[in-house]
Amino acid sequence: MEREAGEASRGRTKSGASAQRFNVETNSEPQEMSCCTVVLWFFSILLISITFPITIWFCFKTVAEYERAILFRVGRLLPGGPKGPGLFFVIPCIDEIQVIDLRTLSFDVPPQEVLSKDSVTVTVDAVVYFRVQDPTMAVINVENYKRSTELLAATTLRNVLGTKTLAEVLSHRDEISNTLQSLLDDATDPWGVKVERVEIKDVRLPIQMQRAMAAEAEASREARAKVIAAEGEQNASRALKEAADIIAESPNALQLRYLQTLNSISAEKNSTIIFPLPIDILAGMMKR
């Protein structure tokens, strides 16, 4: 549902933007100034000429290397695109300028509580890097491109994470970041904004889930340890069986083994006397 709503809203912004973009294009065609504008323009120039030494200082504006200025003359966008960097000429009474920063900006997407596809609540936050690619569109098509991009990033994050399971969220962060980046970039195109990078900072799980996962990990480690111990036992018994088979091949070998054992016992407890009773004798008695 949420995702569909997101897509619908994205579609809306796109179609709205294309209509507006059409406006921009017609605007940028050279148009003859209306009579009123010409009069205003004439009086402004006259005023500047009369009060020349003082007003001339208000007629030049500068913008820095990384900025562009969008110029409106009596409310209409001036043809010729954004001005700058450097020095340019304005008519103080009838021109209005807006300066746009072209450097990469970043913001934190506030932690979002998202229900993943397998119904686990995770809290995810991210950081987004973007810059203005087209200053004219950033001024004309959207009231506040920074705030709009921020809000859109939060909803896109929710939409995308809602389609992923917890395991995917935890293990495919790069993939999710790339998806987010391309979705956001497409959606912000009409605003002249280029989303350069999206990084998922942190994925936090609820405490109960953390405990459950820790218990699961511990159990699987224990199971592995048991298997390894059992394998060792198996190997040891196999080796022991092989040794017994070799000893059984010649009875003298067993005799030698007895003597060896006696020797090692006597070295430790030299006051004890041991009399070995071969088991074979007992076996003979049992048979009878």
Ligand X SMILES: *[C@@H]1O[C@H](CO)[C@@H](O)[C@H](O)[C@H]1NC(C)=O
CA 256 and chain centroid, separation? 71
- Minimal CB distance to ligand X: which residue? 270
Q: Is the dihedral angle over the CA atoms 155, 159, 164, 166 positive or is it negative?
A: positive
Residue choice 9, 235, 250, 261 for contact with ligand X (CB under 6 A): 235
Residue choice 270, 272, 273, 283 for contact with ligand X (CB under 6 A): 270
Count of positions on this chain that bind ligand X (CB under 6 A)? 5
Say how far apart CA 83 and CA 103 lie, in whole Å. 16
CB of 272 to ligand X, least distance (A): 10
- For residues 26 and 271, which CB has a smaller minimum distance to ligand X in the complex? 271
- For residues 118 and 231, which CB has a smaller minimum distance to ligand X in the complex? 231
Contact call for residue 26 and ligand X (CB under 6 A): no
Contact call for residue 113 and ligand X (CB under 6 A): no
Q: Which residues contact residue 182 at a Cβ distance below 8 angstroms, ignoring those fewer than 6 apart?
A: none
CB of 259 to ligand X, least distance (A): 18
Contact call for residue 256 and ligand X (CB under 6 A): no
CB of 224 to ligand X, least distance (A): 11
Within 13 Å, how many C-alpha atoms sit on residue 21's CB side? 14
CB of 239 to ligand X, least distance (A): 9
Three-state SS for 200? strand
CA 269 and chain centroid, separation? 71
Q: Which residues contact residue 204 at a Cβ distance below 8 angstroms, ignoring those fewer than 6 apart?
A: 111, 122, 123, 124
Residue choice 16, 81, 206, 232 for contact with ligand X (CB under 6 A): 232
Q: Helix, strand, coil % (nearest 5) of the chain?
A: 60, 20, 20
Contact call for residue 225 and ligand X (CB under 6 A): no
Say how far apart CA 129 and CA 107 lie, in whole Å. 7
Residue choice 46, 167, 225, 228 for contact with ligand X (CB under 6 A): 228
What are the residues binding ligand X (CB under 6 A)? 228, 231-232, 235, 270
